[in-house]
Amino acid sequence: MMVQNNDRRGIGMTSARTRDRLVQRLKDNGIRSNTVLEQIRNVPRHLFVDEALASRAYEDTALPIGLGQTISQPYIVARMTEALLDGFVGEKMLEIGTGCGYQTAILAPLVKKIYTVERIPDLLRRAKQRLRELDIYNVQFRPGDGWEGWSKYAPYDAILVAAAAPTLPEQLLAQMMPEGRLIMPVGPTGRQELLMVVRKNDHYERISLGPVSFVPLVQGM
């Protein structure tokens, strides 16, 4: 398997020029963090999509990954990562919606420990395999209901949710560290907005990061 992935890393669509074009587009669209941009440049996104779609991996667009799920648009991944890391001083985070593992791979070098939850076991298995092949070992995986979070390792310095809920899940808010932040899309299909929620002593501050479109955060397994 490693041989196959190494071969796929070497084909023309993964050239530096192709990745540079994507990074430049993200800059043009307002991404300012050089750390985040370098991760977008360095992580081989084509390894996280079906081989038939690999030639489109460095377009700034979401792509299907099977089982009714998608790999997020690079701009959205960069936007969420930039918001999560801005002022981040902690060591551990919770990710809800592992998906194909691309967002996890972007975050892994930037956070000491990631706990990630995915409700579809087959997606979780494949994501775990890809991340191991990329020598990423600071991630702990769990099949489960994202609405419930992962209370065993709470509280978290940051929580990132890669699916939209109609309201903020109370269980996730309860698993935030004081001054911790939650980045997630909220709202019905067609009217979702990306929120950054910061936990204060007696309340939560909400900041809108703009309109987005995500698959729903489904309850249960």
- pLDDT, one tens digit per residue, over 113-153 is 999 999 999 999 999 999 999 999 999 999 999 999 999 99
Q: Is 60 exceeded by the pLDDT of residue 212?
A: yes
79 contacts: CB under 8 Å, gap ≥ 6: 31, 194, 209, 210
Residue at token pair 């791979």: 105
DSSP string, 47-95: GGS-GGGGGGTTSSS-EEEETTEEEPPHHHHHHHHHHHHTT---SEEEE
What confidence score (pLDDT) does residue 129 get? 96
Local confidence band at 3 (pLDDT 50, 70, 90 cut-offs): very low
Local confidence band at 216 (pLDDT 50, 70, 90 cut-offs): confident
pLDDT in tens, 193-206: 999 999 998 899 99
| Mean pLDDT across 179-188 | 95
Local confidence band at 79 (pLDDT 50, 70, 90 cut-offs): very high
- Are 36 and 85 a contacting pair, CB within 8 Å? yes
- Cα–Cα distance between 15 and 78 in angstroms, integer? 20
What confidence score (pLDDT) does residue 218 get? 86
What confidence score (pLDDT) does residue 122 get? 95
Cα angle value 186/141/59 (rounded, 5°): 55
Q: Which one has a higher pLDDT value, 100 or 219?
A: 100
pLDDT in tens, 37-78: 999 999 999 999 988 898 899 999 999 998 888 899 999 999
Residue at token pair 């959205």: 76
Give the catalytic positions in this structure.
72
Q: What letter would DSSP give residue 107? A: H
Local confidence band at 189 (pLDDT 50, 70, 90 cut-offs): confident
For the chain, domain boundaries? 2-212
| Mean pLDDT across 164-168 | 94
**C-alpha pair distances (Å), 220 with each of 20, 111, 118, 144, 149:** 40, 28, 10, 7, 12
What confidence score (pLDDT) does residue 190 get? 85
Helical segments of the chain, H only: 2-9, 16-28, 34-42, 74-85, 102-107, 121-133, 170-174
- Are 216 and 162 a contacting pair, CB within 8 Å? no
Local confidence band at 109 (pLDDT 50, 70, 90 cut-offs): very high
Q: Is 80 exceeded by the pLDDT of residue 6?
A: no
Domain over 2-212 is classified CATH 3.10.20.30: no
Percent helix, strand, coil in the chain (nearest 5)? Answer: 40, 25, 35
Local confidence band at 221 (pLDDT 50, 70, 90 cut-offs): low
